[in-house]
């Protein structure tokens, strides 16, 4: 339906259209995105080592649902809807905690960490109540890169195809990201950003570097080739490692040296920055001495929470925690990039509802690979991209 709004592109132009503005502003389209994308695909929700012991749990928001992620005694990490099967109260009413069971605070229905109903007042007088059937409603869980990934779909997409395949497409080979041993790194810093913009604007922004010269002075100082507007993410299907400048000794806000390098990276990964997008809500950035991971949590058509982790070698994080090592120059570089990017997205969001943007905007040649994201988005919602419609119409007219 939304493709009705689109004008024809200017003939012969080297610019391609974006989706129409309504894609970024319509609450109904956002509801469809929640249902068809975020509640059907794999979401990276938290770092597995933030649940160190059996019984530690956190609540996270996936799509429109609140989910408990808990380390069990017998079955690794599990995840459940935070909804008591009796009368629905939130089982966990704070963001995190540790307990032997998951017990509802309303009528004391009590669930094992593994999910089944194990106790309730007068339960013994209700022998026909199936304690498995009335267990907490589970969601699918995987661990990868040291993160917990969850999927609310009853039949989740194959993780290897959906997530690893996405990385393989973006990063060339999954092996090359394996060099960073991200699952063995530790989190040295986490920052949360409350961005007043549609999540797709944030992905589009991350995918291109045409804006780098204008809004990222520190980043283009460290990686001079970004001033030319070509992103680390390229259309040819192989991620491009962007090289540090000649005088630069580390990926820090002033180009000074960083911390201990990750030992297993390949020679061509030294002095380079790589960035990939794992749709629908993860960005991975690698540099020789740390890895930066963004997780997005869309809240509304015009608001997105972004959580950004800076991961270092465990011995580096030990020193940070002991106060004997300062990584603030490393953190500050991408923190500034984040703030610069999100400000741009926030000044873009209000225009999405303008009649001057009814037909969307334009992608210059160095942004053309964003069309791939747009095609994925149209397909995820069961729509056809306008170009596809036009191609079909042309074919039909010729036949």
Contact 69, 150 (CB under 8 A): yes
Q: How many CB atoms lie within 10 A of CB 79?
A: 26
DSSP output for 61-123? EETTEEEEEEE-SSSSEEEEES--TTT---S--SSEEE-SSEE-TTT--EE-TTS-EEE-TTG
Does 266 participate in binding a second copy (rule CB under 8 A)? no
Q: Is 293 in the site for a second copy (CB under 8 A)?
A: no
Query: Which span (178-186, 203-211, 327-335, 377-385) binds a second copy, by CB under 8 A?
Result: 203-211
Q: What angle do CA 194, 199, 190 make, to 5 degrees?
A: 40
x/- binding map, residues 146-185, to a second copy, per CB under 8 A? ------x---------------------------------
CB-nearer residue toward a second copy: 82 or 232: 82
The C-alpha torsion from 223 through 330 and 60 to 139, rounded to 10°, is: 60
At 191 the three-state DSSP class reads: strand
Q: Does position 15 bind a second copy by CB under 8 A?
A: yes
Q: Are 97 and 75 in contact (CB under 8 A)?
A: no
Strand partners, 275: 285
Total residues at the site for a second copy (CB under 8 A)?
A: 62
- Examine residue 217 and tell whether it contacts a second copy (CB under 8 A): no
How far apart are the C-alpha atoms of 366 and 228, rounded to whole Å? 10
- How many helices and strands, by DSSP H and E, does the chain display? 11, 18
Q: Which is nearer to a second copy, 121 or 237 (CB)?
A: 121
Least spacing, CB of residue 67 vs a second copy, in Å: 10
Identify which range of 6-14, 69-77, 238-246, 372-380 contacts a second copy by CB under 8 A. Answer: 6-14
Q: Contact letters (x/-) for a second copy, 350-379, by CB under 8 A?
A: xxxxxxxx---xxxxxx-------------
Among 344, 374, 377, 385, binds a second copy (CB under 8 A): 344
60 CB neighbour count, 10 Å cutoff? 21
Check residue 90 for interaction with a second copy (CB under 8 A): yes
Q: Is 23 in the site for a second copy (CB under 8 A)?
A: no
> Closest separation between CB of residue 34 and a second copy, Å?
11
Burial of 190 (0-12, 13-18, 19+ CB in 10 A): middle
Window 128 to 147, contacts with a second copy (CB under 8 A): 128-130, 133-134, 137
First to last CA, the chain: 25
Query: Chain-centre distance of CA 15, in angstroms?
Result: 28
The nearer residue to a second copy, 93 or 328, going by C-beta atoms, is 93
Of 96-115, binders to a second copy (CB under 8 A) are 105-108
> Whose Cβ is closer to a second copy: residue 88's or residue 237's?
88
* Nearest distance from C-beta of residue 382 to a second copy, angstroms: 19
By beta-carbon proximity to a second copy, the closer residue of 73 and 87 is 87
CA 336 to chain centre: 19
Question: What's the order of all strands across the beta sheet hosting 102-103?
Answer: 102-103, 110-111, 117-119
Q: Measured from the CB of residue 362, what is the shortest distance to a second copy in angstroms?
A: 5
> Which of 45, 287 has the CB closer to a second copy?
45
Kindly provide the b/e burial profile for residues 279-314, where b requires at least 16 CB atoms within 10 angstroms of the residue's own CB: bbbbbbbbbbbbbbbbbbbbbebbbbebbbbbbbbe
- The residue with tokens 């009335």 is 134
Residues numbered 26-85 forming contacts with a second copy, rule: CB under 8 A: 39, 64-66, 81-85
Residues that bind a second copy (CB under 8 A): 10, 12-15, 18, 21, 39, 64-66, 81-90, 93, 105-108, 120-122, 125-126, 128-130, 133-134, 137, 152, 204, 210-211, 213-215, 229, 344, 347-348, 350-357, 361-366
């Amino acid at each position: 339906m939304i493709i009705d709004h689109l004008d024809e592109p200017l003939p012969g132009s080297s610019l391609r259209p974006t989706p129409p503005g309504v894609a970024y502003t319509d609450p109904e389209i956002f509801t469809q995105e929640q249902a068809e994308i975020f509640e059907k695909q794999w979401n990276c929700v938290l770092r597995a080592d933030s649940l160190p012991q059996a019984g530690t749990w956190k609540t996270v928001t996936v799509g429109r649902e609140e989910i408990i992620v808990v380390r069990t005694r017998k079955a690794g990490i599990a995840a459940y809807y935070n909804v008591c099967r009796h009368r629905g109260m939130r089982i966990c009413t704070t963001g995190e905690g540790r307990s032997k069971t998951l017990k509802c605070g309303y009528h004391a229905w009590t669930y094992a960490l593994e999910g089944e109903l194990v106790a309730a007042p007068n339960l013994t007088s209700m022998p026909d109540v199936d304690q498995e059937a009335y267990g907490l409603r589970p969601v699918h869980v995987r661990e990868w890169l040291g993160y917990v990934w969850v999927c609310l779909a009853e039949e989740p997409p194959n993780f290897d195809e959906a997530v690893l395949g996405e990385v393989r497409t973006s990063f060339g080979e999954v092996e090359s990201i394996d060099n960073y041993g991200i699952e063995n790194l530790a989190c040295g810093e986490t920052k949360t950003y409350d961005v007043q913009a549609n999540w797709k604007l944030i992905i589009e922004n991350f995918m291109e570097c045409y804006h780098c010269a204008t809004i990222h002075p520190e980043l283009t100082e460290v990686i001079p080739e970004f001033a030319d507007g070509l992103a680390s993410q390229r259309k040819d299907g192989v991620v491009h490692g962007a090289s540090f400048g000649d005088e630069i000794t580390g990926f820090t806000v002033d180009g000074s040296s960083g911390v201990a390098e990750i030992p297993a990276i390949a020679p061509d990964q030294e002095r380079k920055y790589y960035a990939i997008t794992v749709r629908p809500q993860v960005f991975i950035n690698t540099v020789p001495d740390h890895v930066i991971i963004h997780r997005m949590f869309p809240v509304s058509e015009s608001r997105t929470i972004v959580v950004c982790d800076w991961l270092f070698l465990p011995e580096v994080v030990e020193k940070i925690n002991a106060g004997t090592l300062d990584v603030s120059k490393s953190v500050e570089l991408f923190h500034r990039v984040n703030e610069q990017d999100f400000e741009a997205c926030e000044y873009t969001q209000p225009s999405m509802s303008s009649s001057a943007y009814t037909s969307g905007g334009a992608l210059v040649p160095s942004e053309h690979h964003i069309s791939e994201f747009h095609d994925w988005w149209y397909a995820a919602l069961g729509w056809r991209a306008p170009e596809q419609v036009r191609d079909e119409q042309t074919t039909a007219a010729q036949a």
